[in-house]
Amino acid sequence: MRELKHPHRFIIFSEIFLFLKNSIFPFILFLISIGSKIPKKYGGNYTEIFIVIAFLIIIITLAILRWKNNVYAIEEEGIYLKYGVFEVHERTLPFSQVHSADISSSVVQRLFNVYKLEIDTLGGDKKSEVSIFLSKGEALNIKEIIFKGNKMEDKAEIIEEENIRKFTCSLKDLFMMATMSTSILAGFFIIAAFYSKIDDILPEEFKRKVDMSINDLMKDVNGAQIIKYIAILIFSMLFMSWIISVIITVIKYYKFSVIREEDNIKLSYGFFDKKEVTIPVKRIQSLTIVEGVIKKSFGYFSLNVETVGYGKDKGESTMICPIAKRKVLNKFFEDIIPEMNITYDLMKSPKRALIGFLLLNLLSYIIIMILIAIFAPYGYYVFLLVPIIVFWQYKRFVDNGMYNGEDLVVMRYRNISRETVIVQRECVQSMEKMQNIFQKRKAISNYKVSIAGEILGKSYKVRYMDENYIKLLSEYYK
Amino acid sequence: MKKISPFSQKMWAIDGFIATGIFLIVAVVLNIFLNYNALWKYILTGSTYGVSIIVLIYSLLMPKYKYEKFRYDIDEEKITLKYGVFTEINVIIPMTRVQYVDTEQGIIIRKYNLINLQVHTAGGSYSIPFLEKEVGSKLQLSITKTVQEKNI
């Protein structure tokens, strides 16, 4: 049977203290609001004292109950933890999944000889999975037990010979990137908005004068010239936002370089403030090849990696290659991340799925369109967009793809830009197959692959693939 | 594939009734305190009543199918879940990716000696609801044991 132990009694005090600290202000407000309303007959003068005493008793009993119900046990397989007064939670955490165990104590805690043991696993919640107050000896003891069973991975690391492989982004590439970026349009709108703002800022007097002089000028201007004038205006605004975009991009990604050093990928870039980022290859969970609509037509790609953090280190998505041509990209794969350098045949969505896919995706557009057509003046012109949307959804359908190899899972889908995600099999946390009743009839299903990430984890979805695909997946885990 | 406890139907129904109650209370409160002088107030109150009725019907009809559809299986290599009435969902969690296992027991389900099991991976958690207490605790232990053995 389990040898259950309670954590240190200190937790009672710390909980009472924490609760008081958090609730003191609302509580005082509550007292003030209620105190005067109770008539003297029912002991109106003493109500405050009664409430305070009742409140304290409740808090203290709750804290003691929580301590009493909070037990832990160290077993062969892992740590067992039980807590909760109204809802009872039990948690078992195998030692092999422990990523870090920290022991800490504040000044007050040290007075009572209390130490806080925080055990973290990979990814997941920001909070520690297990955090208990223990005496010093016990905390150290548990830590030792954890890491005895858990072979430290770092020791197994083999240091390869120095072999620096490098990739840099040329200025020309950055120039192209700025040109093709959508921030040009954003810049255009910002400038346009600024333009219209001027209208509000200028004094009335000045505006009237300008109006008069413009009217004078306009007397001998014909329509064609006005159009020309507007065209020049728009063009110059676009030009301005292009220049701004180029400047911003160059400042941000100046001298972008990627270096592969043994187990780390190092990025460095920036003109004014140089940024250096180190990504341990082991922590890379997935790699995404992004092909934007405009970029793709010029043959350019960019690469993102998703990394996982543990404990207080946050995992994040990092761009490891802002822009590159296909040919360069191949070399990038060979040099920087040979782990992900693979060839694959994507399985495509079957033809019979097309109608369902189109219907489902068009439905929301059509509802919105009908609403616009009813309520907006000239709204029915919106139906002119139908062929474009149909074409777009068809393109999305064609781009769907999935590959399920021995070591890697590749998924391709398109929202606006086409994304190809490569996940190493080791990093797949779970796989889901989803199938609604319409899809079931046609033997079609959606797939979802989850990788480690923030609280909810990160997941990628490919929709409308063949149903029989999942069989391959479960075979792998036999 | 194993099934969860048949009591789950009752539990789901109770959950549904509680939700219905909450919606009804909101609807009644709206009904009393809104003075009806605009269309949207009628629509709001009416739709709240409507939602509570739909939730009630749902909680009367669905638990049976939900229970029929929920299957789970646990072996040395993976955990498989299958659930969903309108959308069938099929989940595979490799054992080596399981990080820790929680069980949780609220006030109501304690009366029926049931337990909710939650399997956590680095990429999110999946729950197997309403297992008999002995089955759930046994599963929790066996999963932990398998994970520990697998990873060494």
Q: What is the pLDDT of residues A453-476, one digit of tens each?
A: 655 567 888 888 888 776 666 666
Among residues B45, B47, B3, B52, the alpha carbon closest in space to that of B23 is found at B52
Percent of chain A with pLDDT over 90: 0
Indicate the pTM of the whole model.
0.72
* Band of residue A150 on the pLDDT scale cut at 50, 70, 90: low
Is the minimum CB–CB distance between A437 and chain B shorter than 8 Å?
A: yes
What pLDDT score was predicted for residue A152?
A: 47
* pLDDT at position B56 over 90: yes
User: How far away is chain B from the Cα of A477, in angstroms, using its nearest Cα?
Assistant: 6
Determine the Cα–Cα distance for residues A275 and A127; give it in Å rounded to an integer: 28
Tokens of A166: 């490098």
Residues in A closer than 8 angstroms to B113, CB to CB, are none
* pLDDT at position A234 over 70: yes
Q: In this structure, are residues A315 and A454 in contact, taking their beta carbons and an 8 Å threshold?
A: yes
What pLDDT score was predicted for residue A369?
A: 86
Interchain CB contacts (distance < 8 Å): A and B = 149
Look at strands B98-105 and B87-94 and give their pairing: unpaired
Q: How far is CA A388 from CA A160, A185, A366, A373, B137, in A?
A: 53, 20, 13, 17, 56
Q: Do B92 and A450 touch (CB under 8 A)?
A: no
Q: Do B99 and A91 touch (CB under 8 A)?
A: no
Closest residue on chain B to A148 (Cα): B152
Q: In this structure, are residues A345 and A180 in contact, taking their beta carbons and an 8 Å threshold?
A: no
* pLDDT at position A336 over 90: no
Among residues A117, A427, A433, the alpha carbon closest in space to that of A284 is found at A427
Which pLDDT tens digit goes with each residue over B67-117? 999 999 988 888 889 998 888 888 888 888 888 888 988 888 888 899 999
What pLDDT score was predicted for residue B20?
A: 94
Determine the Cα–Cα distance for residues A452 and A115; give it in Å rounded to an integer: 30
Is the minimum CB–CB distance between B108 and chain A shorter than 8 Å?
A: no
Residue A212: Cβ within 10 Å count? 10
Across the range A388-416, mean pLDDT stands at 86
Which pLDDT tens digit goes with each residue over A25-46? 888 877 777 656 666 666 556 6
The alpha-carbon radius of gyration of chain A (Å, integer) is: 32
Determine the Cα–Cα distance for residues B39 and A419; give it in Å rounded to an integer: 46
Strands (E) across A105-224 are located at 114-121, 130-135, 165-168
What pLDDT score was predicted for residue A222?
A: 67
Nearest to A97 among B102, B141, B147 (CB): B147
Q: Which residue has the tokens 């520690």?
A: A128
Is the minimum CB–CB distance between A459 and chain B shorter than 8 Å?
A: yes
Nearest to A470 among B90, B99, B140 (CB): B90
Is the minimum CB–CB distance between A209 and chain B shorter than 8 Å?
A: no
Across the range A382-387, mean pLDDT stands at 84
Determine the Cα–Cα distance for residues A176 and B145; give it in Å rounded to an integer: 55
Test the A interface: residue of B76, B77, B80, B90 with most A CBs within 10 Å: B90
Nearest to B92 among A93, A151, A474 (CB): A474
* pLDDT at position A180 over 50: yes
Q: Do A86 and B106 touch (CB under 8 A)?
A: yes
* pLDDT at position A353 over 50: yes
Is the minimum CB–CB distance between A89 and chain B shorter than 8 Å?
A: yes
User: How far away is chain B from the Cα of A19, in angstroms, using its nearest Cα?
Assistant: 23
Q: How far is CA A53 from CA A12, A50, A56, in A?
A: 18, 5, 5
Q: Do A434 and B97 touch (CB under 8 A)?
A: no
Q: Do A121 and B122 touch (CB under 8 A)?
A: yes
Residues in B closer than 8 angstroms to A81, CB to CB, are none
* pLDDT at position A74 over 80: yes
Q: Do A89 and B103 touch (CB under 8 A)?
A: yes
* pLDDT at position A147 over 50: yes
Residues contacting residue A307 through CB under 8 Å, at least 6 positions apart:
A279, A280, A283, A284, A285, A315, A316, A317, A318
Q: Which residue has the tokens 């910002």?
A: A190
In whole numbers, what is the pLDDT of chain A averaged over residues? 78
Is the minimum CB–CB distance between A458 and chain B shorter than 8 Å?
A: yes
What pLDDT score was predicted for residue A156?
A: 40
User: How far away is chain B from the Cα of A300, in angstroms, using its nearest Cα?
Assistant: 31
Q: How far is CA A422 from CA A173, A264, A299, A413, B97, in A?
A: 24, 19, 20, 12, 18
Determine the Cα–Cα distance for residues A309 and A315; give it in Å rounded to an integer: 4
What pLDDT score was predicted for residue A124?
A: 56
Residue A274 φ/ψ, nearest 5 degrees = -75, 130
Higher per-residue confidence, A42 vs B44: B44
Nearest to B86 among A95, A436, A459 (CB): A436
Percent of chain A with pLDDT over 70: 83
Which pLDDT tens digit goes with each residue over B2-35? 889 888 899 999 999 999 999 999 988 888 887 7
Higher per-residue confidence, A153 vs A29: A29
What pLDDT score was predicted for residue A164?
A: 61
Q: Do A96 and B100 touch (CB under 8 A)?
A: no
Query: Coil, strand or helix: which one is A40?
Result: helix
Across the range B120-130, mean pLDDT stands at 85
Which pLDDT tens digit goes with each residue over A210-224? 777 777 766 666 667
Q: Do A78 and B144 touch (CB under 8 A)?
A: yes
What pLDDT score was predicted for residue A158?
A: 42
Task: Please name every residue paired with B87 in a beta bridge, in sequence order, or none if there are none.
Answer: A436
Closest residue on chain B to A427 (Cα): B97
Closest residue on chain B to A474 (Cα): B92
Task: Report ipTM for this prediction.
Answer: 0.77
Is the minimum CB–CB distance between B103 and chain A shorter than 8 Å?
A: yes
Determine the Cα–Cα distance for residues A82 and A78; give it in Å rounded to an integer: 13
Closest residue on chain A to B90 (Cα): A433
Q: In this structure, are residues A122 and A99 in contact, taking their beta carbons and an 8 Å threshold?
A: yes
Q: How far is CA A300 from CA A69, A303, A341, A454, B11, in A?
A: 60, 10, 18, 30, 55
What pLDDT score was predicted for residue A117?
A: 84
- Segment 99-158 of chain A within 8 Å of chain B by CB: 121-124, 129, 149-151
User: How far away is chain A from the Cα of B145, in angstroms, using its nearest Cα?
Assistant: 5
Residues in B closer than 8 angstroms to A90, CB to CB, are 102-104, 137, 140
Which pLDDT tens digit goes with each residue over A193-212? 776 666 666 677 777 777 77
Nearest to A477 among B77, B141, B144 (CB): B77
Which pLDDT tens digit goes with each residue over A265-313? 888 888 777 777 777 777 788 888 888 777 777 778 888 888 776 544 5
Tokens of A356: 């369902």
Test the A interface: residue of B108, B120, B127, B138 with most A CBs within 10 Å: B120
